[in-house]
Structure 1
Amino acid sequence: MDLRTAAAYRPTKPELAVFVSGVTSMGLEILAVRIIAPQFGSHIYTVGGILTVVLAALSLGYWQGGKRARGATNREMSWLLLATALYVAIVIYASDLLLIQTSTLALPPRYAALPSAIILFGPPTYLLGFISPYAAELSQKAGVGEASGHVYALGTIGSILGSAATTFVLIPAMSIDTIGVLFGGLLVGTAIVLTLPSISRKPLLASVTIVLLLVAATGAGPITYDHRGDVVYQTQTAYQELEIIDDGDTRIMYLDGARHSAIDLEAPDRHVFEYTRYFHLPMLMTEDVDDVDRVLFIGGGGYVGPQDFEDHYDATVDVVEIDPGVTTAAEDYFGLEESETMTAHTNDGRQFLQNTDETYDVIILDAYKQDQVPFHLTTVEFMDLVSDRLTDDGVFYANVIAAPNGPASEFYHAQQRTMDQAFPDTYSFRTSESNDIQNIQIVATNHETGFSEAELAERNDARNLSVDLSEAVGNYMPASDDSDAPILRDDRGEVDSLLDPMLGQRYVIEETEDGSGSSEPPSPSQSVGGEPPIAATQQTESRPPLVVTPFGR
């Protein structure tokens, strides 16, 4: 086909239907991850489950459509597109309610997202599967092979466009509901074109009604009570859903439904979560606090931890945060101000270390994709890179979510053994007396140190740090036998299998009493996908409250 022929080409109505069905089916598949991940996590089981449901629904649609294709008409295809658009309106309106309801089903955690994926995205994808065999039947091509090949090519081109446009253009610029309305409107518009030049009253009324339902669904979702507090800000960044929520005097940043940073609006010097005090442990392991000139945080979140270091130490702080939307939210809602001693870098943490010539006295890894560290920030290759970017007597700190022992401790043991390959000495500290999943802090020194718990306690007494670390030092975990734990490598993606025993178990964060401590963020930071995490709060007179949430749900 020469350029002149291509320019003069006008697709037939069946070809247009196939192309639009490809755009919409792949666009809905991308949206499915963004809709379902905040409730169930973005681990491999959620993403793989969505792909399985979409492919199964399409296959069933192809099969049923092929059986019914003889005698197919453009009008029948228009009704299929209208029915799909109607279901998109249902997804926009009821997705939050359906996600909450399906999350209560008694299923193994790895399969927890399947019911939501089936209910929300199975029917529309199944209906779109009818379009290709119908279009092949209506094709003007001479042979069956040419007709089917032409249809599949157009559908695939549409899928490529739908995937690219949704990923790189629509999600960064629009809300999920708005994108849903856009896809619904595209389906309705295509359905109308299929019935032209004369459209009868019934499909016209149906088209108008569905358009009204699509528009109404964006602002009339089912009334639900958000137990987390008052939503101050909400947006879809290129990487995740970002929410700022005020729960009384506590302001919390949620990324894909998981808590990532928090401040006390009335007592800004308070560490909202107990474990964030532990971020200062590297300052006990340096030769002299005054010698710490450069600190790097991998993962910014609300930037409360980096700001705390800037306020209390005479050091220059660099922060690597992959999501610029998170940095903007930190500026607007968490008081972040860049200065000569505080610089934010929009980059992936590993790429930043590969490209920088700077060396740091302390590097703190607090980068999370919902409730797990991104795989490429866990491997021995990454640890070697960190060691190279530390000064000779530098200290590396990693925030790890796992259990201290038992099956749910597999990732912790693997991470510590991996760090042992790159650093002379590593030290682990639990943050809760329970054996539940919690934040375990692993600190590694770039030279041999051999600190005992007593020596760290003496340093804590002698050094006038901004936070008392006596409780943190008291939670020192003696070295355990982790010789059976795997060493994490770039070419061996074992993190998901190591996290598998933790799925669905409770994840405990101990919370400080009001008005105590310093300033700091709660857990994860860097973004790139769990049930909204505050599932219960417990408090006794002798211990601070606990925040309890299912891990990975």
Structure 2
Amino acid sequence: MSSLRRAAAYRPTRPETAVFVSGVASMGLEILAGRLIAPQFGSSIYTWGTIIGVFLAALSYGYWRGGKAAAERASLGRLSRLFTLTAAYVVVLVVAGDLLLRSTTAFPLPSRMASLPAVAVLFGPPTYLLGYVSPYAAQLSEKRETGAASGHVYAVGTIGSIVGAFATTYFLIPSLDTDLIALVFGLLSVATAVALAYPVRIRGEAGKALLVGLLLVAAPVAGTAGITVEGRVVYETETAYQELQVVDAGDERTLYLDGQRHSAMDLSDPDRHVFTYTRYFHLPFLYTDDIDRVLFVGGGGFTGPKRFLDEYPNVTVDVVEIDPEVVRVAREYFRVPDSPRLNVHVGDGRQFLRDTDRTYDLIVLDAYRQDKVPFQLTTRQFMELTRERLDSDGILFANVIAAPSGPASDFYRAQYRTVRTVYPQVYTYPTVGGAFVQNIELVATANDERVPLETLRERNAAGAANIDLSAELDSHTAEAPPTDDVPVLRDDRAPVDSLLDPLVGQRYVVQRTNATNTTNTTTATATA
């Protein structure tokens, strides 16, 4: 009981408070870095490896420099100044972070290291400053032995890092956008600086900290709110999984996830396919006349599910989407109807297929992005699971983003090879042509017999898909891609990030329809 009373009565010293806050701030900024960097460079393993490496390097350099200076310079006033300078740099991140981020994309680095300058410029300086805190605090510690002081400081700092990791992950990111999260850490640094400078003799440091606090409060309104180069931002938020924006440009409304176009809707003609590749979702209706139950893995703006509900009155559509905010936004901004034939499930697509006892006539995989592909949805074990959940004549449709040939085709060819180990017939439909990075549609059937292209044309002419897919059938590739140099993706080895790496810097070509249902082409640069 006496130990419990002592613990309850314990009050941390100011150096201990400084170390704890530095741990919270450094780990929180590290997680925040992933959200800020992902829209420009993606969130691959290389991006996260770079973030972790830069933070460790900056902290180590701060520890080393702080350790050399601690014996002569450590004081509460200098500790206070470190937090004031950290908060001041957060002001720079809030006001000019996007400009700094875009300015670092021109460095001629290998694609795997493309995010290194951005992480170093945006997060290196504040992390370096926070690295000074631990050796200064150890020097100011009330514990006399060096080992006891160092161990105590590192324990307190680690506890702070744990708090920062969990608080940022489970509370701040789901609740606030990135600027406001940065503001939280900036104000936390200001409050710590003021607390450390509270004695009258260092009142000047407290005044500087309060001035930076005022700049922090003003920083979020310094930018141009609600406007992007793509159009007018109707809604934006940070979800637990990604940055989400709904942007209007003229009559088109586009859903951006981590800065990349994911779905679009014509506000004046909601039934129009804005992106041409979504028309290919109807191809399975030419391969079989027995499609009554469909599962979409990945929701986005629900373009495919909405059109299936409109075009096929006898079809029931299930959608599994991992991000609940995407589902809510789709309902509010993309006119997803309340229909007894539409069942929306929030969760992981693979887990849903593993848990459900329902079988489907068609499974559509639409959860891949040009820079971020959930590896667990690409492996042979997952493909075997999809086949178990399909009827005997069921079809798997996969929307893959890659090039049909050349170095940027590695992921497509590996995915083709993996699907081919489970499904006897796989058909390929590049949506643009040429060797550009584009949407490549894979149609995999459980039937051993191959359906001739001429038969597909006859069924199309007879209206089997309810829309004319003549142009889409013209893109059919008769020959299978070479796959000897790419792996079969497995749960224990799915090097998706390295397979996607050649896409970096390549033009991602997307065909769009216009109001007259003819097509035009737009491009974007694939990210890491």
TM over 0.5: yes
Matched, 1:297 2:299: no
Unaligned runs of 5+ in 1: 517-542
Distance 1:338 1:199 in 2: 66
Cα deviation, 1:289-339, whole Å, max 9, x if unaligned, reads xx3221000000011210110111111100001111111111111001232
Contact residue 270 and residue 515 of structure 1 kept, 8 A: no
Shift of the alpha carbon at 1:269? 2.3
Shift of the alpha carbon at 1:203? 1.6
Alignment-derived partner of residue 552 in structure 1: 527
Alignment-derived partner of residue 344 in structure 1: 344
Shift of the alpha carbon at 1:485? 2.2
Alignment-derived partner of residue 463 in structure 2: 463
CA spacing shift, 1:369–1:161, aligned 2, 3 Å: farther
Cα deviation, 1:122-177, whole Å, max 9, x if unaligned, reads 00000000000111111112311111111111000000000000000111011211
CA spacing shift, 1:370–1:183, aligned 2, 3 Å: farther
Distance 1:22 1:370 in 2: 34
Alignment-derived partner of residue 24 in structure 2: 23
Map 1:25-424 to 2 at 5 A.
Answer: 25-71=26-72, 72-198=74-200, 200-221=202-223, 226-286=228-288, 288=289, 291-313=290-312, 314-369=314-369, 371-424=371-424
Contact residue 408 and residue 500 of structure 2 kept, 8 A: yes
Cα deviation, 1:481-534, whole Å, max 9, x if unaligned, reads 323321000111311111111111111111113232xxxxxxxxxxxxxxxxxx
Distance 1:513 1:278 in 2: 17
Contact residue 134 and residue 157 of structure 2 kept, 8 A: yes
Report the secondary structure of 2:428's partner residue. Answer: strand
Alignment-derived partner of residue 537 in structure 1: none
Report the secondary structure of 1:278's partner residue. Answer: helix
Report the secondary structure of 2:519's partner residue. Answer: coil
Higher relative contact order (CA 8 A, sep 6+): 1
Report the secondary structure of 2:435's partner residue. Answer: coil
Q: Which amino acid aligns with 2:410?
A: E
Cα deviation, 1:393-412, whole Å, max 9, x if unaligned, reads 10000000111111111111
Aligned-residue CA RMSD (Å): 1.6
Contact residue 197 and residue 206 of structure 2 kept, 8 A: no
Alignment-derived partner of residue 11 in structure 2: 10
Shift of the alpha carbon at 1:55? 0.7
Shift of the alpha carbon at 1:267? 2.0
Distance 1:295 1:16 in 2: 56
Q: Which amino acid aligns with 1:451?
A: V
Report the secondary structure of 1:246's partner residue. Answer: strand
Moved more, 493-502 or 78-87: 493-502
Distance 1:242 1:179 in 2: 15
Distance 2:420 2:286 in 1: 20
Q: Which amino acid aligns with 1:299?
A: G
Cα deviation, 1:407-455, whole Å, max 9, x if unaligned, reads 1111111101100111111111111122111100011112213112222
Distance 2:224 2:271 in 1: 39
Shift of the alpha carbon at 1:5? 1.5
Report the secondary structure of 2:421's partner residue. Answer: helix
Contact residue 93 and residue 222 of structure 1 kept, 8 A: no
Distance 1:509 1:388 in 2: 33
Shift of the alpha carbon at 1:204? 2.7
Report the secondary structure of 1:422's partner residue. Answer: coil
Distance 1:214 1:155 in 2: 25
Report the secondary structure of 2:253's partner residue. Answer: strand
Report the secondary structure of 2:317's partner residue. Answer: strand
Contact residue 320 and residue 348 of structure 1 kept, 8 A: yes
Contact residue 371 and residue 500 of structure 2 kept, 8 A: no
Q: Which amino acid aligns with 2:366?
A: D
Contact residue 42 and residue 370 of structure 1 kept, 8 A: no
What TM-score, normalized to structure 2? Answer: 0.96
Contact residue 368 and residue 399 of structure 2 kept, 8 A: no
CA spacing shift, 1:224–1:386, aligned 2, 3 Å: closer
Distance 1:100 1:168 in 2: 28
Report the secondary structure of 2:492's partner residue. Answer: coil
Count of aligned residue pairs for this structure pair: 524
Distance 2:337 2:519 in 1: 31
Alignment-derived partner of residue 519 in structure 1: none
Report the secondary structure of 2:432's partner residue. Answer: coil
Distance 2:265 2:324 in 1: 20
Contact residue 255 and residue 370 of structure 1 kept, 8 A: no
Shift of the alpha carbon at 1:222? 6.5
Distance 1:73 1:490 in 2: 53
Shift of the alpha carbon at 1:199? 5.7
Alignment-derived partner of residue 526 in structure 1: none
Moved more, 187-196 or 341-350: 187-196
CA spacing shift, 1:372–1:187, aligned 2, 3 Å: closer
Q: Which amino acid aligns with 1:482?
A: T
Alignment-derived partner of residue 494 in structure 1: 495
Q: Which amino acid aligns with 1:409?
A: S
Cα deviation, 1:222-267, whole Å, max 9, x if unaligned, reads 6897221111111111111110111111110000001111011122
Runs of 4 or more, structure 1, over 6 Å off, are 222-225
Q: Which amino acid aligns with 1:343?
A: N
Moved more, 468-477 or 543-552: 543-552
Moved more, 269-278 or 478-487: 478-487
Shift of the alpha carbon at 1:105? 3.2
Shift of the alpha carbon at 1:109? 2.4
Report the secondary structure of 2:450's partner residue. Answer: coil
Q: Which amino acid aligns with 2:374?
A: P
Distance 2:183 2:482 in 1: 55
Unaligned runs of 5+ in 2: none
CA spacing shift, 1:439–1:377, aligned 2, 3 Å: same
Report the secondary structure of 1:212's partner residue. Answer: helix
